[in-house]
Structure 1
Amino acid sequence: MHDQNTASDSGRARVEAHSTDYIPESERHGTVWQQAPFWFMINGNVTTALTGVVGASLGLSLVWCLAAIVTGGLFGTFFTAFHAAQGPQLGLPQMIQSRVQFGSRGLVVPLAVVVFVQCGFGVFFIILGANSLSGITAPHNGFYEPLLCVVAAVIAIVGHDLVHRVQRWLSILVLVSLALVTVAVLAEVDLSGLMSAGGFQWTAFLAQFGASAAYQIALAPMVSDYTRYLPRKTGTRRVVGMVFLGSLASATWLELLGAVVTTARPGADTVSAIQHYGDSFLSGLGWITLAVTVLSMIGVLPTTFYSAAINALSAFDAFRTVRPSARSRVVVIVVLVALTYVATAAIPDHYLGSFSSFLALLSYLLIPWTAVNLVDFYLIRHSSYAIAEILAPGGGVYGRWGGRGLISYTVGLAAMVPFFSTSLYTGPLAHALDGADISPLVGLPVATLCYWLLMRGADLTAERTAIALDKDRLLTLRADASPAGSSLAQPS
């Protein structure tokens, strides 16, 4: 079998052969510190700044915006970062691991949600990237969107190592640019005056808290996609810490920047306001900021398409065995990029309201999943799984339908409904709280407790037997792999 690494020893990029399958120890590579700049870049874009305007646009003071952004970010990142250890331990993409809790076919519902979420983020990234290009050159005529899609698709097609490499190098440019524009904003605004503006409202505070938390939790379904190539011996604390540090640092920084700009220039477009402050401080800085914004979009877009393709393949594989290969991954990426572009063309220019609703949807749909997945990994099975069974047709010992996981997910989501507070629907308990949305704080413990209670009576005897045989089964399956073989087959 030929070496399957996604990059050669000399650093020359190859098209990645893996998709939904297991990454054997012989092909693991990378170091833990590389996770920090990668996850810094995931949030190192103007979309993150838009998340920080929610509270300020509702009249929340800058001090309380800071409190809501920090606490919401800590809450969301805490759960997201703990998914990082699952990659090195299991060597699998993030969502396919949830076949254990939901079953191979039961997982299709969360998978569909995640693919929608990831492509939805792609829509906003493309819009912001195109608008930034327009600010650098001239108003565009529809050319910039497909250009961004093509560049992102190529990077995603080459795969994991190139995505990491692009993000790592771009993080240096973004860090310098963010530092300069932050200095520019702070130099140009009356910070002391801004601190006294606005006030405290529970509704606005919880809206900002929920937006910041949901923005971070939205990353949870893709964490292991980018940690699964790390060696199995990678320490849990180290990888969780790097993901936590990188993701939270950029999210908090940019959301605070968005809150400051919105407080200083109410009603102004956030991107245009940032450009204005940059140019006012130093001629050409606004242009440079927009240029780096475009580059950051080129960096983050491939991550959404890469993970969405893996999740879509996982869903297809639940009903008809899909042999992991570069070809299948490429086809799905191309289809998803095309669909995302079509959706982008249908989005109106004034998208802040729809973006806020989108963040609420992320919180509602992803919190019960992350609760079930994490409690299973850390409290129920203690990171011990039969990987060959996870990938087996029909779900192996884990089955097609995971009743306990599906029930817990449904109960957690249902418990959140009375606390929903969106432009589309406001629940009765949210009305009683003056429109405050605390649904994330309800759904997480409810789904966690429900799954933990249901799993107390689970018989794991068959699974333990499969775990004992797992290492040999994986070796045998890889050795016997062929184009017509099992879903574990690796193209050579």
Structure 2
Amino acid sequence: MAGKSLIETRSIDYIPERERHGRLFSQFTLWFGANLQITAIVTGALAVVLGGDVFWSLIGLLIGQVFGGLVMALHGAQGPKLGLPQMISSRVQFGVFGAVIPLILVCVMYIGFNATGTVLAGQAVSQLLSVSETAGILIFAAVIIGLTVCGYRVIHVLGKAASVIGMLAFAYLFVRLLSMNDIGALLDNRHFAWSSFLLAVSLSASWQIAFGPYVADYSRYLPSDTSSLKTFFAVGLGSVIGSQASMVLGVFAAALAGKAFSGQPVAYIVGLGASGLMASALFFSVALGKVTISTLNAYGSFMCIATIISGFRGHLTITRVQRLVFVLAIVGLSTGLALAGQHSFLAAFKSFLLFLLAFFTPWSAINLVDYYCITRERYDIPALSDPDGRYGRWNWTGIGVYAFGVLVQMPFIDSGFYSGPLVEKLGGVDISWLVGLLLPAILYFFLARRDASHVPAQLVLPVRS
């Protein structure tokens, strides 16, 4: 049976009830383990590196974590009900062809995150195996290819292993950090500034929201009667707790290290712990954490490419050889970018992460409002593969609101790519992600509710389910 195979046989297919399996705890461990990793540490460190103090950076990161985690977990709760990857459901809001617009941008996101994460993973593998950073990057990429081809079951096993090992490593690092340094003195230095505080909020909120386009990919095999509320908490708490722990460590490390952190963050973090055998164990933990999240990104990329192709070709069956080719192309591209940009990582990552929000907050707003307020979980799943069916080729309401959501953020964006005209008037504060969530959500709600003819009376499943 397909559901019992170690190597996944399905791709973007609806998962029939007989193949559903898993428990909610695996959702918690997957997202907890995926966030106990070096890139999350670096993201938290940026709040201090870019001018914030320790106390208010921690508060801002937690607020953004909770707000972004709410959005992310609401997407995750869709998986068991629909039995589909996240982005294919966008055809309800954008049309079968129109959904390609956000799908292409999601692919860019995955490749970008994998490229930046691969740089840090390469540093860890380099130290662990005593090879060059370039060799470390290539070894890491080979591991990601193998795990991604295996698919869903292996990814969840990986998440459990990463949770246990990451928790032990982080506990050890925190004990060392607290015992060797005066953390109280760092917390007593409190200089509140709106720009630095909201930067911290934006960093963690964007971290969580960026999971939205693929979080349901990893909950879609759960039985369809799984509680949406319990799924929401399992996914959300795992992601928020894991990422906040990583970012807290990053804040303290950056505050203590100063410029030493920016050059070699992996070596500095491991250096907090010890040398010799313990250092090797910590480098392994760093590499495993990056393996988990990079596998998620590569798997999500594969799902998106398959969804794009199926939108124009109808039902798509992907063989294992085709799956391998897709994964090789995806990981190869991100690895090439990592090799090209491995010596200028930190500044580029901050700019990429913040600018990325402009394209994904409107998609999240539209998808969540439609699922929870307009269709109320009533999708016609067979029609998602039919351009002439219920959802049509192009849904101009969804596409128009999405374009509005991207454009309305432009005056408020502050990144290395672009700075909007209202940023300076707001004291250098970037509030684009708030604008990009709230305004498209309101507009889509009022426009979409006027014509509910495409909403079926109940959830419509494939005939053979």
Q: Is the pair's TM-score, using the shorter chain for normalization, greater than 0.5?
A: yes
Q: How does 1:256-275 map to 2 (within 5 A)?
A: 256-269=248-261, 270-275=265-270
Per the alignment, residue 431 of structure 1 pairs with 424
Which of 246, 261, 267 is matched with 2:238 structurally?
Answer: 246
**Distance change in 2, residues 1:58/1:334 (3 Å):** closer
SS at match of 1:143: helix
Q: CA deviation at 1:58?
A: 2.6
How many residue pairs get matched?
461
Q: Deviations over 1:115-167 (max 9, x none)?
A: 11111111122211110122234351622222211111111111111111111
Q: Secondary structure at the match of 1:475?
A: coil
2:286 corresponds to 1:286:
no
- The yes-or-no answer on 1:446 pairing with 2:439 is yes
- For residues 186-225 of structure 1, what are the structure 2 equivalents within 5 Å? 186-197=178-189, 199-225=191-217
Distance in 2, Cα, partners of 1:437 & 1:73 = 16
Residue number among 330, 355, 367 corresponding to 1:373 in the alignment: 367
Q: Choose the corresponding residue for 2:350, options 347, 351, 356.
A: 356
Contact 1:426-1:435 at 8 Å conserved across structures: no
Alignment of 1:252-331 (within 5 A): 252-269=244-261, 270-279=265-274, 284-321=277-314, 323-327=316-320, 328-331=322-325
Residue 143 of structure 1, aligned match among 135, 147, 169 = 135
Q: Describe the shift of the 1:318–1:142 C-alpha distance in structure 2 as closer, same or farther (beyond 3 A).
A: same
**Residues in 1 aligned to 2:304 and 2:292: alpha-carbon distance in whole angstroms:** 20
Kindly indicate whether the alpha-carbon contact (under 8 Å) linking 2:355 and 2:415 is maintained by their aligned counterparts in 1.
Answer: no
Q: Which of residues 2, 7, 20 is equivalent to 1:4?
A: 2
> What is the CA–CA distance in structure 2 between the aligned matches of 1:248 and 1:200, rounded to whole Å?
24
* Partner Cα separation in structure 1 for residue 446 and residue 97 of structure 2: 23
How far did 1:332 drift?
A: 1.2
Describe the shift of the 1:163–1:17 C-alpha distance in structure 2 as closer, same or farther (beyond 3 A): same
Runs of 5+ unmatched residues, structure 2: none
Which moves more between the two structures, 327-336 or 441-450? 327-336
Q: CA deviation at 1:322?
A: 5.4
Show the counterpart of 1:227: 219
1:225-258, Cα deviation, whole Å (9 max, x unpaired): 0000000000011000000110000110110110
TM-score by length of 1: 0.90
Q: CA deviation at 1:272?
A: 2.4
Distance 2:134 2:52 in 1: 37
- Give 1:205 shift: 1.2
The CA RMSD over aligned residues, in Å, is 1.7
**1:316–1:247 distance in 2 versus 1, CA, 3 Å:** same
Deviation of the 1:105 alpha carbon? 1.4
Q: What whole-Å deviation, never above 9, does each CA across 1:333-377 have from its counterpart, x for those lacking one?
A: 121111112111111323111000111122111100000000001
Q: In 2, Cα distance between the equivalents of 1:201 and 1:97?
A: 40
Q: Deviations over 1:377-429 (max 9, x none)?
A: 1001110110010123x162101111111111111111111101112322121
Matched AA of 2:318: S
Corresponding letter in the other structure for 1:366: F
| Cα distance change of structure 1 residues 401 and 61 upon mapping to structure 2, 3 Å threshold | same
For the residues of structure 2 that align with 1:350 and 1:197, how far apart are their CA atoms?
Answer: 30
Stretches of structure 1 that go unaligned for 5 or more consecutive residues are 479-492
Tell me how far apart the structure 2 counterparts of residues 171 and 319 of structure 1 sit (CA, whole Å). 39
Partners of 2:444 and 2:349 in 1: CA distance: 31
- Give the drift of 1:19: 0.8
Matched, 1:47 2:39: yes
- SS of aligned partner of 1:278: coil
2:397 is equivalent to residue 397 of structure 1:
no
In the TM superposition, what whole-angstrom CA distance separates every residue of 1:266-316 from its partner, at most 9, and x where no partner exists?
11223222122112xx76433321111112222222111111101011112
Distance in 2 separating the partners of 1:340 and 1:438? 29
Preserved contact between residue 85 and residue 217 of structure 2 (Cα < 8 Å)? yes
Q: Is the 8 A contact 2:55 2:190 kept in 1?
A: no
State the shift of 1:191 in Å. 0.9
Residue identity in the other structure for 1:56:
V
1:156-181 Cα distance to aligned partner (Å, 9 max, x none): 11111111111112211111111101
Distance in 2 between residues matched to 1:448 and 1:203, nearest whole Å: 25
Distance 1:395 1:99, change over 3 A: farther
CA gap of 1:141–1:88, structure 2 versus 1, over 3 A, is closer
Structure-2 residue corresponding to 1:488? none
Structure 1 position 259, deviation (Å) = 0.5
Shift of 1:331: 2.3
- Residues 226, 141 of structure 1: CA spacing in aligned structure 2 closer, same or farther, 3 A cutoff? closer
Q: Is the 1:36–1:246 Cα contact (8 Å) retained in structure 2?
A: yes
Aligned ranges for residues 470-481 of structure 1 at < 5 Å? 470-471=460-461, 474-475=462-463
1:413 alignment counterpart? 406
Q: Do the aligned partners of residues 400 and 255 (structure 1) sit closer, same or farther apart at CA in structure 2, a change above 3 Å counting?
A: same
Amino acid at match of 2:272: Y
Q: Is the 8 A contact 2:119 2:345 kept in 1?
A: no
**1:429 is paired with a residue of what secondary structure?**
coil
Give distance in 1, aligned partners of 2:281 and 2:151: 28
Equivalent pair of 1:316/1:322 in contact (CA under 8 Å): no
What is the CA–CA distance in structure 1 between the aligned matches of 2:279 and 2:175, rounded to whole Å? 12
| C-alpha displacement of 1:224 | 0.8
Question: How high is the sequence identity, in percent, across the aligned residues?
Answer: 31
Does the residue aligned with 1:300 lie in a helix, a strand or coil? helix
Distance 2:279 2:315 in 1: 47
Against the structure 1 CA distance between its residues 330 and 370, is the aligned structure 2 distance closer, same or farther, given a 3 Å change threshold? same
Counterpart residue type for residue 274 of structure 1: I
Give the match's secondary structure for 1:72: helix
* Worse-superposed segment, 251-260 or 163-172: 163-172
Q: Given that residues 59 and 198 in structure 1 are in contact (C-alpha distance below 8 angstroms), is that contact kept between their aligned partners in structure 2?
A: no
- When normalised by structure 2's length, the TM-score is 0.95
